[in-house]
Amino acid sequence: MGFFSFIKDVGDKIFGKASAAEANAEDIKKDLDNLGLDTKDLEVKLEGDKVVLSGTAKDQETLEKAVLEVGNKMGVAGVTTDGVKVANAGAESKFYTVKKGDTLSAISKACYGDANKYMVIFEANKPMLTHPDKIYPGQQLRIPPLK
């Protein structure tokens, strides 16, 4: 997949710590594992404000969700996945950066041409998203190809 840029000054805190600078790779890995995704074979390193993922991802979806989970954290400016092997490769999703005033319906209309496909985006971003209305500017979302 490569390198993914994130907005460093927005995102969730890591275990209540103000930023990735106050956290460490173990904290980020625990946070990732707490999602319930099968990420046991992914390793996490922190290099300044960048997260480096390596190891094996179960599938493309799991890797993309891992990238978004660690990237959408306060203090993280980028995620590198060059060292990750994907066991069951599939179609890659596009990533979308939420802008002020965006809703999942508006994003769905822009990406799919149909505002009613917003639940596809919501489901593709679970468990990071817990409600379709809880998105914020600067957050990145997975936009999977329609089946």
Question: Could you report the per-residue pLDDT of 4-29, keeping only the tens digit for each?
Answer: 999 888 887 776 666 666 778 888 89
Query: In the chain, which stretches have pLDDT less than 70?
Result: 1, 15-21
Q: Which of 96, 26, 90, 45 lies closest to 63, judged by CA?
A: 90
pLDDT for 74: 87
Torsion of CA 123, 124, 127, 132, to 10 degrees: -50
- 144: tokens are 């999977």
Task: Please give the model's pTM, rounded to 2 decimal places.
Answer: 0.89
All domains of the chain, ordered by start, with CATH?
Answer: 3-88 (3.30.1340), 94-143 (3.10.350.10)
Write down the H helix ranges in 72-113.
104-112
CB 94 within 8 A of CB 102: no
> How high is the pLDDT of residue 115?
98
pLDDT score of 16: 67
pLDDT of residue 9: 85
